[in-house]
A and B are shown apart, each in its own frame.
With several copies, the nearest count.
Chain A
Amino acid sequence: MDGGATMKSVSVEYFALFRDRAGRSQETVETTAEDALALFQELEHRHATSDPRGHCKVAINGKMAEWSDAVNDGDTVLLFPPVAGG
């Protein structure tokens, strides 16, 4: 198994503050990140946040996900900064 080193193509979408910081709402990235956390950290130059756990959320392929969830080739990953409804 060398799954950890496999290059994957992932569509990333940025929202609110993250979109403002990244200067874009969507991009396709080539990555070897195994989970959502690793992908998020690889993209720190875009969203300028070192650790999302506890205050940022992630969705994968249209469903809320955990930061430890796997990221696979062809996935769409949505990066949500801290929410503030109401």
Chain B
Amino acid sequence: MSMEISYAPIDTAGLRREMADVTAGGFVVFEGWVRNHNEGREVRALEYEVYKPLAISEGERIIAEVIEQTGAIAARAVHREGALELGDSAVWVGVISAHRDEAFRACREIIDRIKVELPIWKKEHYVDGDSGWVNCERCAKHGHAHAHSH
């Protein structure tokens, strides 16, 4: 299974071991880390809500399409669900290929698509006590950008 959703921290060393392949010359990894600021606000923690059945099936579809397009040998992705702390790895994408170009292109394409196509939502908790769903500016009708809860 190439797409995984995990409540537990991502075992990056274990994933790397599992991708070992003596026909591969290049291995590219992207990790998205929880950082302490976003769009000018200080972030304290965050949580991901994931609709797992479709996040997995759409993720597998994206990975298969990108492998086909780029000629990479294999790719895997893991996305966290639930509460995360600063510095945690929220998403891990690893790609192996014969030469480095395919692995770089495939890794970039997979993370770009994961961010906009999978049913995953991020709620940021700010240092000032506020919190809000990210990216919901456009679905707000009533004049405030986030569903703020103090």
Contacts and interface: CB of A to CB of B under 8 A. Distances in A.
Direct contact of A and B (CB under 8 A): yes
Interface of A: 15-18, 20-21, 44, 47-50, 52, 54-57, 59, 62-64, 78, 80-86
Give the one of A44, A50, A81 with max B CB within 10 A: A81
**What is the predominant secondary structure among interface residues of chain B facing chain A?**
mixed
Given A15-B119, A82-B138, A86-B114, 17 more contacts: A15-B121, A18-B139, A20-B133, A21-B147, A44-B141, A49-B140, A52-B139, A62-B53, A62-B54, A81-B121, A81-B133, A82-B139, A84-B121, A84-B122, A85-B91, A86-B115, A86-B120
Nearest to B111: A86
A30 B119 CA distance: 26
B69 interface: no
Interface of B: 32, 48-49, 51, 53-54, 58, 79, 90-91, 111, 114-123, 133-136, 138-142, 147
Contact of A17 (B32, B79, B115, B139): B139
A58 to B, nearest CB: 10
Contacts of A18: 139
B141 A48 contact: yes
A82 to B, nearest CB: 4
Contact of A49 (B117, B120, B139): B139
A50 B91 contact: no
A69 B141 CA distance: 24
